[in-house]
Amino acid sequence: MSRLAKKIVLSLSVLVFAYVAMGYVLGKTNDDKTYRSLTVFSEVLEHIQHDYVEDPNMRQVETGAMHGLLESLDPQSSYLSAREYADYKNKLGNEVKASAGLELSKRFGYIAVVAVLPDSPAQKANIRGGDLLESIAGFTTRQMAVGQAQVLLSGEPGTAVKASVIHRGGGEAQEVDLILAKVPAPKLIEDKMVGDIVYLRVPTFDRGVTGQIRDKLIQMDHQGAHKLILDLRDCARGQVAEGVSTAQLFLPSGNITTVRGQTVTSQTFAADPAKVVWNQPVAVLISTGTAGPAEIVASAIADNHRGQTIGTTTFGTASEQKVIPMDDGAALILTVANYFTPGGKSIPADGVAPSVEVRPSLDDLGSQNPEQAAPQPGQPPSPDDPVVKKAIEILQGAAQRRAA
């Protein structure tokens, strides 16, 4: 960009801020802090233009400022430039042909792995929940939006995407090749524990999962099961409606969750006794890889004293985003509503804390990550899984108290 063009961009930016400031003076805003911030921002632009060590690329400065502005709000809000938004619509606007099979967010300024889908390229590359992606396809993720990362990790089947991964717990970044593929719909995993205790692992809350869970619960009840371990560890994808309807399978009364936002009408979702299919004791397993609809289920069961939650605090992403196109072809992905627990806590702000914390040690899990007690995606639990062991202990104790 020529110096003249840079000056034009800077001048227009100052004019925009001056216009907003004039709105303040005329009474269109009464927020004095906002006015002062806009004044400071225009001063920063001027200093960058005139005092930086070399001629700055003002378009790049502007894009970086927009990225930072959105990311300062929450991990899921982001800014997409015109080129990034065009790629986003092209690759994610329709059905995704192939992907790496990752649920993503932001942590420590980088793209973070919330959870990994079973039988996915990411699982085959030994990526686990809690890992950080330092770079994707040669691009640093330091200022990368989650939407942009999703674009880079989607495409045609067989496409190789190189990623630099920092595994949870630290260490040097490792280069891995992700071969994009069509990830099959994850299946429910059921297993027999001890006595009349059964185990059901839910990998996602995609459309139709509630019906599958309902059928499994009815089948288990008919087979004489009287206690349930509901494993929601590393369950981070799905639809809120599925989470709400799954919670209704367990709750005869009480509230499930409330959604709130400035432009979203507050709505509380309640239990429905006519939809309950499991009246027996239940223990819910959660981890740092539990997010979204799974957090709604876990908090609904815990806050209504329907069962214990066991494990570690969840990731905290139960929110709604809206894509807002801009006039210049760019777009905002903006969080417009958050979901709250029945106890009134914001799930994105606090996550869902376990009623019984179990933080496995390296001795418990061998070479596995101590924060990720869950078995590999798509696999039944290990007999040595300390979180499952605690759930069995709690359910057996509850049965003994009932008998007494």
Token couple for 228: 């349930």
- Say yes or no to pLDDT of 194 above 90: no
Kindly indicate the confidence band of residue 33, based on its pLDDT and cuts at 50, 70 and 90: low
- Say yes or no to pLDDT of 363 above 60: no
pTM here is 0.84
Kindly indicate the confidence band of residue 6, based on its pLDDT and cuts at 50, 70 and 90: very low
> How large is the average pLDDT for residues 144-161?
92
Closest CA to 300 of 240, 354, 255, 353: 255
- Which residues are within 8 A (CB) of 108 and not within 5 positions of it... i.e. 6 or more apart? 132
Question: Rounded to 5 degrees, what are φ and ψ at 355?
Answer: -75, -25
Res 140: pLDDT: 94
> How large is the average pLDDT for residues 138-152?
90
Helix, coil or strand: residue 401: helix
SS (H, E, C) 234-266: CCCCECHHHHHHHHCCCCCCCEEEEEECCCCCC
Distance, in Å, from the CA atom of 235 to the CA atom of 352, rounded to the nearest integer, reads 13
Buried b (16+ CB within 10 A) or exposed e, 373-404: bbbebbebbbeebbbbbbbbebbbebbeeeee
Distance, in Å, from the CA atom of 387 to the CA atom of 280, rounded to the nearest integer, reads 20
In the chain the first and final C-alpha atoms are separated, in Å, by 80
Token couple for 275: 């939809």
Distance, in Å, from the CA atom of 281 to the CA atom of 306, rounded to the nearest integer, reads 8
pLDDT in tens, 311-356: 999 999 999 999 999 999 999 999 999 999 999 999 999 999 999 9
Distance, in Å, from the CA atom of 384 to the CA atom of 375, rounded to the nearest integer, reads 10
DSSP 122-152: HHHTT--TT-EEEEETTEESTT--HHHHHHH
Average pLDDT, the chain: 85
Distance, in Å, from the CA atom of 242 to the CA atom of 319, rounded to the nearest integer, reads 14
- Say yes or no to pLDDT of 62 above 80: no
Distance, in Å, from the CA atom of 368 to the CA atom of 212, rounded to the nearest integer, reads 30
